[in-house]
Amino acid sequence: MLPDDVFRARLQTTITALRYWAPSIADAARLKESETGDYWKLAVTPEVPSGCPFELVLHADQRYDLHIGGESYDSRPIESFEWFLPMAEAVADGKVVRRHWISRLTGLERSVETLVTLPNGGVWREARGEVHWTPTLDDDGTELRERRFLPYRR
């Protein structure tokens, strides 16, 4: 964890960068920003029906929540502030894939993974369920379904 004064300075810089970026997509998405003493939140809903909506919440306790494309990743530690703006840009550019591993036999979801390809080529990745589960070659009962999202502007 960062010392509180360092964290707050970096948090404020990140919020300022995201506030500066937000108007650049205002013609293609609805934006809603809110803030309290405990958090800052930006919710983005694209006008394009197949665009990826997201909501980013930066908490004062050095944690963040990200709700992206129907998945929620809550109370994650903020280890770096460097990726929040590139993440928002990548989502608006349609660089999001959601993967579902589903049992064909039961229809149950085994795991879900969300991937966002960042502008620098890196990948932000989070998962829920059997996180590192991969079917074996002889497992014919698992199906991978991917959903790709469109850019906010086409």
Note the pLDDT tens digit of each residue in 15-60. 999 999 999 999 999 999 999 999 999 999 999 999 999 999 999 9
β 39-46/54-59 pair status: antiparallel
Residue partners of 129: CB distance under 8 A and separation at least 6? 101, 109, 110, 111, 112
Q: What does the alpha-carbon distance between residue 148 and residue 94 come to, in Å, rounded to a whole number?
A: 8
Q: What is the pLDDT of residue 139?
A: 64
Q: What is the pLDDT of residue 137?
A: 45
Q: What is the DSSP letter of 51?
A: B
Residue partners of 147: CB distance under 8 A and separation at least 6? 69, 97, 98, 100
Mean pLDDT of 60-81: 95
Amino acid type, 102: I
What does the mean pLDDT of the chain come to? 91
Q: Which residue has the tokens 């036999």?
A: 105
DSSP H or E run through 10? helix 4-21
Minimum mean pLDDT range among 23-27, 98-102, 107-111, 112-116: 107-111
Mean pLDDT of 122-126: 94
